[in-house]
């Protein structure tokens, strides 16, 4: 069987992330592995200077949004290989729960624990919560406003009386329980949310909102383009093009 012909750049980038990794597809689908790996690990990575840790965190987030458990496990191992901490990996997963739902997240949580234990990392990890039952709403609302500004007050004002509780849940749970945690800064959390949402698909209004949120916390248009580009091999062209459409609507070139 002819040996797979990876470019030197693809081989180097893949070796950095997954040293010694041998995919079974190299035996069953060698042509596919050759053109995919050269595309993902050379051509796409070469598009920009997004640092390896950020790139891998965004890929992990996209596998959560795309419900891609097998690739997630591979990338969690890769994340550890490039120096992403176990706490940061867990925080990416926790960050995904308000967006993908706990029904999907539980399988990923079990898979994460399996990889960490397999690497000799003791569980549970050190806690990252910074809120209490008494201040989670107040702190969550503060983070919401720091990211999105006055639009949060307008959302509360415009919400029908029988739906105001959802706005309260967003403040106390989505932001109070998750965004206030340590382990990841707000800029990274917003970028992770963006990656989760564009991989999830069908949630373009939320993508638009979090594009603006990213801009507000300092992740500019080029950073978002870089993330979209790096995720293309993992989420496919339709979701990539939808993300680009949203980006151009919120912050035109």
Q: Does 146 lie in the same domain as 81?
A: no
Q: In Å, what is the CA distance from 100 to each residue of 12, 35, 183, 195, 203?
A: 33, 31, 20, 12, 11
Q: Does 169 lie in the same domain as 156?
A: yes
* 87 inside domain: yes
- Preceding amide of 231 cis, omega within 30: no
Exposure of 227 in the CB half-sphere (CA atoms within 13 A): 30
Sorting pLDDT into bands at 50, 70 and 90, what band is 2? low
Q: Which domain does 62 fall in, by range?
A: 48-124+180-250
* 100 inside domain: yes
Q: What is the Cα Rg of the chain in Å? A: 19
Contacts of 41 (CB under 8 A, 6+ apart): 6, 9, 10, 11, 13, 14
pTM (predicted TM-score):
0.96
Q: Does 185 lie in the same domain as 171?
A: no
Q: Does 171 lie in the same domain as 53?
A: no
CATH number at 202 reads: 1.20.1290.10
* 68 inside domain: yes
The pLDDT, as a whole number, for residue 151 is: 95
Total domain count for the chain? 2
The pLDDT, as a whole number, for residue 245 is: 98
Q: Does 216 lie in the same domain as 192?
A: yes
Q: Does 143 lie in the same domain as 93?
A: no
* 27 inside domain: no
* 187 inside domain: yes
Q: What is the pLDDT of residues 169-205, one digit of tens each?
A: 999 999 999 999 999 999 999 999 999 999 999 999 9
Phi, psi for residue 27 in degrees, rounded to 5 = -90, -35
Q: Does 222 lie in the same domain as 146?
A: no
């Amino acid at each position: 069987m002819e040996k797979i012909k990876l470019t030197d750049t693809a081989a180097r980038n893949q070796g950095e992330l997954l040293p010694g990794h041998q995919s079974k597809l190299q035996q069953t689908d060698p042509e596919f592995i050759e053109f995919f790996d050269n595309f993902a690990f050379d051509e796409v990575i070469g598009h920009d200077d997004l640092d390896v840790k950020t790139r891998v965190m965004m890929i992990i987030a996209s596998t959560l949004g795309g419900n891609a458990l097998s690739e997630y496990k591979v990338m969690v191992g890769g994340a550890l290989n490039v120096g992403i901490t176990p706490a940061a990996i867990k925080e990416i997963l926790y960050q995904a729960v308000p967006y993908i739902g706990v029904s999907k997240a539980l399988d990923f949580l079990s898979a994460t624990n399996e990889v960490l234990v397999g690497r000799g990392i003791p569980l549970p990890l050190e806690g990252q919560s910074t809120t209490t039952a008494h201040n989670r709403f107040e702190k969550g609302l503060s983070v919401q406003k720091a990211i999105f500004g006055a639009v949060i007050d307008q959302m509360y004002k415009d919400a029908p009386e029988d739906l105001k509780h959802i706005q309260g849940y967003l403040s106390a749970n989505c932001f109070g329980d998750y965004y206030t945690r340590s382990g990841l800064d707000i800029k990274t959390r917003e970028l992770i949310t963006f990656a989760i949402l564009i991989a999830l698909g069908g949630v373009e209004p939320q993508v638009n909102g979090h594009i603006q949120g990213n801009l507000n916390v300092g992740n500019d248009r080029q950073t978002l383009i870089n993330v979209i580009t790096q995720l293309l091999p993992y989420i496919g062209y339709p979701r990539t093009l939808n993300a680009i459409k949203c980006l151009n609507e919120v912050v035109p070139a």
